[in-house]
Structure 1
Amino acid sequence: MASNMEPVAVTSQKHDPAWKHCQMFKNGDRVQLKCIYCGKIFKGGGIHRIKEHLAGQKGNAATCLRVQPDVRLQMLESLNGVAVKKRKKQKLAEEMSGYDNTNSSGVEVVNNHCGLNTEIVLLPVPEMIEHDGDVYANREDGTSSKTSGRKKKGRVRKAPGPDLVNSNTAALASFPAMNSKKVSNTVHMAVGRFFFDVGLPVDAVNSAYFQPMIDAIASQGTGVVGPSYHDLRSWILKNLVHEVRNDVDQCTGAWGRTGCSILVDECGIQERVKQGTIFLRSADISHAIDSADVLYELLKETVEEVGLRNVLQVITSCDDRYVIAGKRLTDTYPTVFWTPCAGRSIDLMLHDIGELPTVNMILDQAKSISRYIYSNSVVLNMMRRYTFGVDLVDLGTTRSSTDFMTLKRMVNIRHNLQSMITSEEWMESPYSKKSEGFAVLDTISSQSFWSTCALVTRLTDPLLRLLRIVSSEKRPAMGFVYAGLYRAKEAIKKELVNKEEYLVYWNIIDRRWEQLQRHPLLAAGFYLNPKFFYSLEGDAHLHIRSLVYDCIEKLVPDPKIQDKIMKETASYHGGVGDFGRKMAIRARDTLLPSESTF
């Protein structure tokens, strides 16, 4: 009987998540569904029966023993969601049926006698509506609006009067869930219509001010009239400029108390304090971008603009021209630190690791897979069905991080990719018969490829985690740089064991870390984080403490204050006195150090 079954394509109109995990066949006049995991065929019950089968819900269908745990959980959540919606619908029906034909709010519910299982809700209309004179033209006392003549050309009707707005709002408030979905769709369509009419990029909805704008409009009811062209270019613009200046003044006011860091990149110069980061200035040096002298003069001007006493450090890229300019700047201003960008240094470590022959070969094979899949829409859609919507490429902040994050993503969905290339759908596809398709089949089927991928992922994952930390703006990452690199080296040593093998990776890290390792501010950030400092073993304490003393001598010119700090650092270093209390020891792993490390 199975031989008479003809496969039927699952159309895009079927939105239930269970359709991704079954195949549809036509057997005569009947449609049957087949589980793609265990092969069980269901002759009835529809997609709901398949969902119960995958979720392992006892009752109408046998449990699938081969389905993946994440799929089982997804189906179970979908079933629970359907049940919740059904209960809400029943509750709403009960609430609606409880209303009398005439209730205290003036809302009438009238039965529909047209054979439909629905009711008509009549909302109250205010007895008198006061119209603005601009709404209807040439209207005299005692005359109807029908006799008022034609509407003036180009005139825009104003918002309804307050009586109408308040009455309708009160009436609709009696039914909070009646039209919520319809209202949301109406709002979304209106927003989309505006976006596409003026050509706004859709990622504008990710703006921090988008949802507050929606909330502000909704809070004023239905009578809101948007700002005009002249409003936007006049008083609104002036008020926003005033707000920005107040924010900048708050940041600049903190310079004298906490100091600040100057961030320099190819896009501009920013200033960062505890209160936040502000854009300071930009300069066009495209004619001399490779000149260290021009960069030095630019950095010098910026330091003088902010004020020498207010500048703690200047952070730049670790390229050669920035290194030369940064060292000249510290010679000119001995109290200012030049700090190479930790994120850029870690990215260069990943880049150098990617240049190793074994790693480079694995990355090339992984890229060939992703290129072939993403170059064919049919193959891409097939892959997304087998990975349940998970993309193959995982975008990072840099090219090197993207390569290794994508490699990790491929390891995580390895079994999904193998299921795809062994399926009938792939075998019958014309793309599998091309030379690139055979290469993809060989690579994904190779056990050595996956074992090497997993090894490379374990070696680079600590560096990727550290890169995410230093790229985050949620908290200062200065103390995490030392700890992260120490842990990355220890993870590599534990993974490879053989000294000759792990020293290859250690040398790459040390070569790029050389500038960061000797930096007093980074050492101080590590030293003042008790969770990291007290967990460090060996003679590294001595090296770090020496750099902390360099930091103190540079930032604290008063000898008396230096002596006081020295006494307290001795207690901190030995974990004695108040630092040795039980509650202080417990707090080492739970409390973050002061956020004023910048």
Structure 2
Amino acid sequence: MMETELEPMPIGALKRDVAWKHCQMFKFENRTRLKCIYCGKMFSGGGIHRIKEHLAGQKGNGATCPRVHPDVRRIMRQSLEGSIVKSRRKQKRPEDIQNRLLGTGEMETMITQSEAITGLQLLAAPDAGEPHLRLLAKEEEGMTNRRMIGRTGNTSSPPVTPHAHPTSNLTLGLPKGKDQVHMAIGRFLYDVGAPLDAVNSVYFQPMIDAIVSEGLGLKAPSYHDIRGWILKNSVEEVKGVVDQYKGTWAKTGCSILADEWTTETGRILIHFLVYCPEGTVFLKFVDASDIVRSPDVLYELLKNVVEEVGVQNVLQVITDSADHYIIAGKKLTDTFPTMYWTPCAARCINLMLEDFGKFEWINAILEHVKSMTRFIYNHVVVLNMMRKYTYGKDLIQPALTRSATDFTILQNMVNLKSNLQDMVTSQEWMDCPYSKKPEGLTMIDIIYSQSFWSSCSSIIHLTEPLLRVLRMVGSHKRPAMGYIYECMYRAKEAIKKEFVEKKDYLVYWNVIDQRWNKQLTRPLQAAGFYLNPKFFYSIEGDVHNEIMSGMLDCIERLVSEIKIQDKITKELSSYKNAVGDFGRKMAIRARNTMLPAEWWSTYGGGCPNLSRLAIRILNQTCSAVGFKQNEISFKQIHNVTRNQLEHQRLSDLVFVQYNLRLRQRLLRKNQELDAMDPISFDNIDTVENWITEKEAVTMENGSSDWMALDQPLANAMLAPSPNDEAYGLDAGFEDDEIFNGVRDEEENGRQ
């Protein structure tokens, strides 16, 4: 077999040397062979080290690669040099390191003899009775000098004062192994005040791996490195990713997201992001504190962003639904007649849930549950007992919004009903002093109240359909435009089935219709439904007029050329009747398995104009929320006295930070994270009402000793991933009452 016919083998995750990214691995005659990806040279021996020498241009062991990039060559040379140093260090016996453990007096003497610190090496005490451990860390150059002194007797090197590195006086009592590493990481995070969930970053472990690969003696980047060349390179790196996304906007179209939020100092910021199926990118932020309430100025701001992204690429601009945004959005679509303005679907659904929570009977149930969770989550003994009987599952689970969190927690309560009942009937609970307290007795009454659980069940049936819609529009797995219309239909259908009597379900339909009809429903959502083959071919009979009208409106607005509009109208007939490739058995099976845009890309070749429009519509989102807000100090950026050069540096820092976080959404889809702690400060914004006692917390019997608290089990709190596609409650879409809504107020009064 010729070399060119060999199939490359996958390179396993354990092969972490940097050179593995620059070669391919083959299997030939039971031997492993490596091939340089730049010049194509094949190596049959020497392993990855030979490839590294080849790329580094190190003479003596093989030919130098003539095509490798200079940056790659530099990295390979640095890696080879690091391997030599690492090899030398490994020759040291463990007892040699142990001999560096010195008493306090010896340490102070040694510090004055040319010892400089560039990193912290934590050493464990040989005797558990030793009162302190010193942190010994020595610069490689200093270590080399001492070795030379021992050999030559030369003592002319000037001493280094201990004041240059105050960390030399730190003391710790730590065991050997990874614990001392973890303690060092924790100490750094605590010292700089970093968010503790920083360890969940997808970039955290690669950082540790990179440090380990360089071995001991790696000098940390300086302050000026971080704010200088490293930030500059990061900006260019992120811009490269953004440019990749931009290259897809012409084909798939994109949505501009304007996410408004308020800082701690009261400044109103608008973050501008661009969504496409490849990923979401952050463009910029604007301090709109002085302009946001002016529709005309807001319009100019939105107009400038549309022009920056490219009018031909933008299908919609998504904002809040406040009056000034509505006015600015209408003016924007008048200026750009080939795009839409749409309010944020997630905010709209959240308002529906918020309105449901205002019903007296629902609010009463929520307050009962909150009284229980506040009691449980403020006492260690009770919380540990609850987690024991629920097998590590938590009652409190933060959701996308506050209102969604309320009803998600209620759902968790119902799911854990039997576990809670087992807990309050156990001998362990009877022996617990908190079971005799008023809060404990109240909790028992609630847990054994049949009317309470019956009301909870009704609330769940009422709100779960909307929670599913909210999860769907906030999902990172698929664009929501092809699903939201169907999801809203199924939500109203589920409520109708639950309450049966028209006078009962119309009360809640009115809440939905008020928000849906006045704020959310738009032609894009109707067209998304029409173009989703899974739903379209489930319709029996004629398509409802509202859906067809939305589809035709999108053709007229999103397609500027009249000739193309006419062609699309003709091609609609082929789609409706499943003519040509649309009627293939593969296409029919794929209606329920492929994403709608992918289905059109695969089977829509016979209707190129309609297919192009369908792909652009079906690749859009419906929401502008769900993106983690930036935590850079905006008061620094907006300080009018700040130097303009530093202002731009901080703006670039925001650009890098925000886009790296957006990138995480794609990278951590299938990543298993540590369980969220519902009583942590990180989640306080959405769950505060569920864990904060109304009265001041008193220290009773050590009940507030968090050190005695059992940690949440890994992902035990997280519910199974919901199916955010179709509900499948009933086939077809024939209920005209759902489509038409409640339009006659007099009819409502007669019910």
Please give the TM-score of this superposition, normalised by the length of structure 1: 0.68
Note if contact 1:347-1:398 (Cα within 8 Å) is conserved in structure 2.
Answer: yes
| 1:147-204 deviation line (CA, Å, top 9, x unaligned) | 67785346999xxxxxxxxxxxxxxxxxxxxxxx974434323322332333322211
Q: Is the 8 A contact 1:350 1:401 kept in 2?
A: yes
Aligned residues with identical type, % of pairs = 58
Find the residue that maps to 2:483 and give its secondary structure: helix
Aligned-partner residue type, residue 315 of structure 2: L
> Over the residues paired in the alignment, what is the CA RMSD in angstroms?
3.2
Q: Deviations over 1:74-127 (max 9, x none)?
A: xxxxxxxxxxxxxxxxxxxxxxxxxxxxxxx9999xxxxxxxxxxxxxxxxxxx
TM-fit CA distance, 1:589: 0.8
Q: Equivalent of 1:143, from 147, 151, 157?
A: 151
1:273 aligns with 2:273: no
The AA in structure 2 aligned to 1:378 is: V
Would the alpha carbon gap of residues 537 and 343 (structure 1) be closer, same or farther in structure 2, given more than 3 Å must change?
farther
| Aligned with residue 416 of structure 1, among 394, 414, 419 | 419
1:453 positional shift? 0.8
Q: Label 1:247 to 1:400 Cα distance change in 2 as closer, same or farther (>3 A).
A: same
Match of 1:176 in 2: none
* Structure 1 gaps, min length 5: 1-104, 109-130, 158-180
Q: Is residue 233 of structure 2 the alignment partner of residue 239 of structure 1?
A: yes
Structure 2 equivalent of residue 298 of structure 1 = 301
Cα–Cα, structure 1 residues 207 and 517, in superposed 2: closer, same or farther, change >3 Å? Answer: closer
SS of 1:309's equivalent in the other structure is coil
**Which residue matches 1:567?**
570
How many angstroms does 1:214 deviate by?
A: 1.8
8 A contact 1:137–1:152 mirrored in 2: no
Q: Quick check: 486-495 or 549-558, which moved more?
A: 486-495
CA distance in 2, matches of 1:441, 1:355: 26
Give the Å deviation of 1:394: 1.6
Q: Which deviates more from structure 2 when the two are superposed, residues 356-365 or residues 406-415? A: 356-365
SS in 2 for 1:391: coil
Work out whether residues 140 and 217 of structure 2, in 8 Å CA contact, stay in contact via their aligned partners in 1.
Answer: no
Match of 2:388 in 1: 385
Matches of 1:107 and 1:150 in 2, distance apart? 27
Are 1:193 and 2:170 counterparts?
Answer: no
For residue 348 of structure 1, the aligned residue among 344, 347, 351 is: 351
Distance 1:394 1:373 in 2: 14
State the AA in 1 paired with 2:577: G
What per-residue deviation string (whole Å, max 9, x for no partner) do you get for residues 364-390 of structure 1? 222222223234343333322322332
Can you list the C-alpha shifts for 1:204-251, whole angstroms capped at 9, x where unaligned? 112221122122223344454432334323322221122122233333
Letter in 2 for 1:524: A
Letter in 1 for 2:358: E
CA contact (8 A) 1:518 1:547 kept: no
Range with greater deviation from structure 2 (570-579 or 544-553): 570-579
Instruction: Tell me which residue corresponds to 1:78.
Output: none
- The whole-number CA distance in structure 1 between the counterparts of 2:140 and 2:399 is 57
Q: How does 1:65-214 map to 2 (within 5 A)?
A: 135-137=143-145, 143-144=151-152, 152-153=160-161, 183-214=177-208
Higher relative contact order (CA 8 A, sep 6+): 2
User: Within 1, Cα distance between the matches of 2:383 and 2:153?
Assistant: 61
**Alignment partner of 2:185: what SS?**
helix
Question: Using a 3 Å threshold, how does the CA distance of structure 1 residues 464 and 182 change in structure 2: closer, same or farther?
Answer: farther
State whether residues 338 and 560 of structure 2, in contact with CA within 8 Å, keep that contact through their aligned partners in structure 1. Answer: no
Moved more, 373-382 or 468-477: 373-382
CA deviation after TM superposition for structure 1 residue 329, in Å: 1.8
Q: Decide which moves more: 562-571 or 342-351.
A: 562-571
Cα separation, partners in 2 of 1:265 and 1:197, compared to 1, 3 Å: closer
Secondary structure, aligned partner of 2:373:
helix
Counterpart-to-counterpart distance in 1, 2:384 and 2:357:
29
Which of 358, 362, 376 is equivalent to 1:359? 362
Q: Which residue of 2 aligns with 1:403?
A: 406
* 2:578 maps to 1:584: no
Aligned match of 2:374 in 341, 361, 371? Answer: 371
Q: Quote how far apart the aligned CAs of 1:338 are.
A: 0.5
Match of 2:321?
A: 318
Deviation at 1:445, TM superposition (A): 0.9
Once residues 91 and 255 of structure 2 are traced to their aligned partners in structure 1, the CA distance between those partners, rounded to angstroms, is 64
Q: Could you say which residue in structure 1 is the equivalent of 2:255?
A: 261
Task: State which structure, 1 or 2, has the greater radius of gyration over its C-alpha atoms.
Answer: 1
Distance in 2, matches of 1:437 and 1:503, equals 39
The whole-number CA distance in structure 2 between the counterparts of 1:366 and 1:539 is: 47
Contact kept? 2:277, 2:479, Cα under 8 Å: no
For 1:214 and 1:505, the matched residues in 2 are separated by: 53
The alignment covers a number of residue pairs equal to: 450
Mapped to 1, the partners of 2:372 and 2:141 lie a distance apart of: 69
Partner of 1:330: 333
Does 2:498 match 1:504? no
CA drift of 1:287 comes to 3.6
State the distance in 2 between where 1:327 and 1:107 align.
Answer: 74
Superposed displacement of residue 478, structure 1 = 1.0
CA gap 1:376/1:538 in 2 versus in 1, 3 angstroms: farther
> Does the C-alpha gap of structure 1 residues 134 and 572 become closer, same or farther in structure 2, counting only changes over 3 Å?
same
